[in-house]
Amino acid sequence: MTQHSNPDWSTFVRERVDAHLVAFFDKKRAQAERLSPRGLEMVNATAALTLRGGKRLRPLVLAAAYSAVNPEGDLADCIAAGASLELLQSYLLIHDDWMDRDEERRGGPAVHTMFREPGRDPHLADCLGVLTGDLAGTYAWELMAEAPFPKWRRDEGFEAFATLQIEVYFGQHLDVVADRDVERMHHLKTGSYTVRGPAQLGAVLADANPDQVLALTGWADPLGEAFQLRDDLLGTFAVEGTTGKPGDDLRHGKRTALILEAEQRLDAAGRETLAKVFGRAEASDGEVAATMEALVACGAKDALERRCAELRDVALAAIGNGALASVGCARLTELARRLTDRDR
């Protein structure tokens, strides 16, 4: 697909990535049957998570960046690399859910909980979950190797792919140890594999020049932060049935940017209201609702909303210098709004 063949580029990318993943998992099931039929449960668990919902934002970012550098390029060439990013996300989500003791993901069971069977040691089930995450990570590398580009360009893609993963691990470390440097954690953990990494990968595969890389980085970095701020808002103010239950992050005791902002704004009564809910899984719906009202009243929610809008404006300004092709800029603009205005 070139820029002229179909204006609905995002549907094309999503559908082709989904089809590529379905075919890939069919091959992996056949491989598991040859290696060890009992291991099919790992393949099936990975497939269940990967194909269950998901917005395919990362493949879209990769494809938009690619077309911003190479507007005449075929977006079909981006599909294997885009599917690889989806497997990478599955790998990270599987391990993240286990670390956070989360039981659900994308409206279904978290992968480590899929292995909990009557009579099976819970520790063994968790081990199988971690092992399945490892397998998904290896699948991601295998898919990246399928990208139909010259070897030298694919090698540069491997380097970019490795860099974004290393950044994720250091960001996850900050998250696990509850470091208060939330901005750095967002930059490393979320920005790296959600926006910056896919954009850099698209740039590399399109053979971007330094000015184009600079423009794409200027677009990606603020949007990575904005994406996480939107996540923080949704983790508390979710519409039930989309991203989870309202107040989930409050009950889980997650020190998000929303909480850090609120701590600077709440009065004594507001802090007391927050303390009744924060980190208490058994907090009542009424207590959660009162805390959400306090977060709105103190201005913390509006502050994050404004920051998201400011970051989006910074991102859009970065791609307005003429270094990138207009068709790609239009797609990057569309994604910037989608990343910052989403409700799930």
pLDDT per residue as tens digits for the range 34-78: 999 999 999 999 999 999 977 899 999 999 999 999 999 999 999
Confidence of residue 343 (pLDDT cuts 50, 70, 90): low
Q: Judge if 183 and 47 occupy the same domain.
A: yes
Other beta carbons within 10 Å of 112: 27
What's the chain's average pLDDT? 89
**E strands, the chain, in order:** 104-105, 108-109
Q: Judge if 137 and 52 occupy the same domain.
A: yes
Q: Judge if 188 and 292 occupy the same domain.
A: no
Supply the range of the domain harboring residue 271.
Answer: 210-344
Structural domains of the chain, count = 2
Q: Which two tokens stand for residue 160?
A: 């970019």
Q: Which two tokens stand for residue 330?
A: 């239009």
Confidence of residue 23 (pLDDT cuts 50, 70, 90): very high
C-beta of residue 340 within 8 angstroms of C-beta of residue 223 = yes
Rounded Cα distance between 303 and 300, Å, is 5
Owner of token pair 């859910």: 97
Q: What is the four-CA torsion angle of 32, 35, 41, 47, rounded to 10 degrees?
A: -30
- Residue 344 pLDDT greater than 70, yes or no: no
C-beta of residue 94 within 8 angstroms of C-beta of residue 129 = yes
Confidence of residue 5 (pLDDT cuts 50, 70, 90): very low
* Confidence (pLDDT) at 186: 78
Mark which of 190, 208, 226 sits at the end of a domain: 208
Rounded Cα distance between 132 and 136, Å, is 6
C-beta of residue 206 within 8 angstroms of C-beta of residue 181 = no
Lowest average pLDDT, out of 3-7, 80-84, 181-185, goes to 3-7
pLDDT (average), residues 175-190: 80
- Residue 116 pLDDT greater than 60, yes or no: yes
Q: What is the CATH number of the domain that holds 23?
A: 1.10.600.10
* Confidence (pLDDT) at 210: 96
Lowest average pLDDT, out of 58-72, 110-124, 135-149, goes to 110-124
Q: Judge if 248 and 124 occupy the same domain.
A: no
pLDDT tens digits, 304-326: 999 999 999 999 999 998 899 99
Rounded Cα distance between 135 and 140, Å, is 9
Confidence of residue 7 (pLDDT cuts 50, 70, 90): low
For residues 13-32, one letter each, b for 16 or more C-beta atoms within 10 angstroms of the residue's C-beta and e for the rest, the string is bbebbbebbeebbeebeeeb
Q: Judge if 230 and 97 occupy the same domain.
A: no
Residue 48: name the closest of 76, 22, 75 by CA: 22
pLDDT (average), residues 153-175: 91
Rounded Cα distance between 100 and 342, Å, is 24
Q: Judge if 325 and 228 occupy the same domain.
A: yes
pLDDT (average), residues 18-32: 97
Q: Judge if 187 and 221 occupy the same domain.
A: no
Q: Which two tokens stand for residue 69?
A: 């550098």
Mark which of 208, 239, 259 sits at the end of a domain: 208
Q: Judge if 182 and 111 occupy the same domain.
A: yes
Which are the contacts of 228, defined by CB distance < 8 A and separation ≥ 6? 186, 189, 190, 191, 194, 257
Rounded Cα distance between 281 and 168, Å, is 27
**Which pTM was predicted?**
0.90
Most confident of 176-190, 204-218, 221-235: 204-218
Work out the angle at residue 321's Cα, subtended by the Cα atoms of residues 318 and 327, and round it to the nearest 5 degrees: 90
Which are the contacts of 169, defined by CB distance < 8 A and separation ≥ 6? none
Other beta carbons within 10 Å of 95: 21
